[in-house]
A and B are shown apart, each in its own frame.
Chain A
């Protein structure tokens, strides 16, 4: 399976020269295998997905972890939504109070967006999921609520060639003593467990996190410890703070390498990164 990272920035896109190396687009990851395609989150990075033909039934499955704007703002600019030939499935977190259609409809309506949901011309199917397990072509997917404000899912995408865990907005350390070391008490640990690749929230430095407890994100060090506790084989740190320049990001990363020792490889996710599992 081929994984391409199209967006690694948290909260808001940035366009400065200082953030060019890692990229300024918000969360979006493309996963492709056997002619099937998944898009994990529809952040501004989604604009770089070229939805040409060659995919089975012209089908694309978009899996939304949650509906914060940085994870859906690319949706309206995804051309296949306006193509009657394409079949789009959107999978998103269920809510007790409002349907996924109603919640996404707030974005797909003026004044935020000129086109109403009902005017999208593709064949559109919405799926509400919570702690679920479902199949999309060759992929087996598990979703589960994780710690982040509002209904938020993490995903575990399993293909015969490997397993990807995707938890871009996640604060498992929320609590008095930070991360609980018993994995049973660790949010999302079933999703991450022994995955070949984990993409995890690492928005803050440990110092910044002290002032942002409860904001729904992780520090670089907590992301590493989380990966160690769940036994993942490789970790990619993502959801970089929009104010963090490439230089600062690399400085924080170097500090991490100097002050910690973990057995598994880890790296900073960047836009355009392609990985094969």
Chain B
């Protein structure tokens, strides 16, 4: 089955952006990530293709300011998938190689013309230090 045009257009925009963008279906399976996002994930879309939710959500650990592991329910993308609302949060991600990076994530739901919930987009920002 082909994806809805709302997902296709989001991918096409992401493809033009310098900001890391991840696009998921309604279950959180990763449908697409752009080139800047490949750097964060440490993988190439060309190699991995789509990734199941369990597979890509374990690529990095999410931690708060104190180094405590963040429960998934507190992550913007997970909240968006649950509530179909946009969210934003700044936290730390730690790659499997142990590299930590402070990151801000903005997520929003893709709700099509017919009102149908189709998936979500997560944009990762490197916050400018205050």
Contact = CB atoms under 8 A, between A and B. Distances in A.
Is chain A's binding surface mostly helix, strand, loop or mixed?
loop
A144 B114 CA distance: 11
Report, as a range, how many residues of chain B touch the other chain. Answer: 10 to 19
Contacts of A96: 113-115
A151 B2 contact: no
Contact of B3 (A146, A175, A184): A184
Contacts, number: 50
B88 interface: no
Report, as a range, how many residues of chain A touch the other chain. Answer: 20 to 34
Contacts of A146: 5
Contacts of B1: 184, 190
B2 A189 contact: yes
Contact of A184 (B2, B9, B112, B115): B2
A187 B114 contact: no
A145 B9 contact: no
23 contacts: A94-B113, A95-B113, A131-B4, A131-B114, A145-B4, A145-B5, A145-B112, A145-B113, A145-B114, A146-B5, A147-B8, A147-B9, A174-B9, A175-B11, A175-B12, A175-B15, A176-B16, A184-B1, A184-B3, A185-B8, A187-B2, A188-B2, A190-B1
**8 tightest A-B contacts by CB?**
A175-B12, A130-B114, A189-B2, A190-B2, A176-B15, A176-B16, A187-B5, A145-B5
Interface of A: 94-96, 130-131, 144-147, 151, 174-177, 180, 183-190
Interface of B: 1-5, 8-9, 11-12, 15-16, 112-115
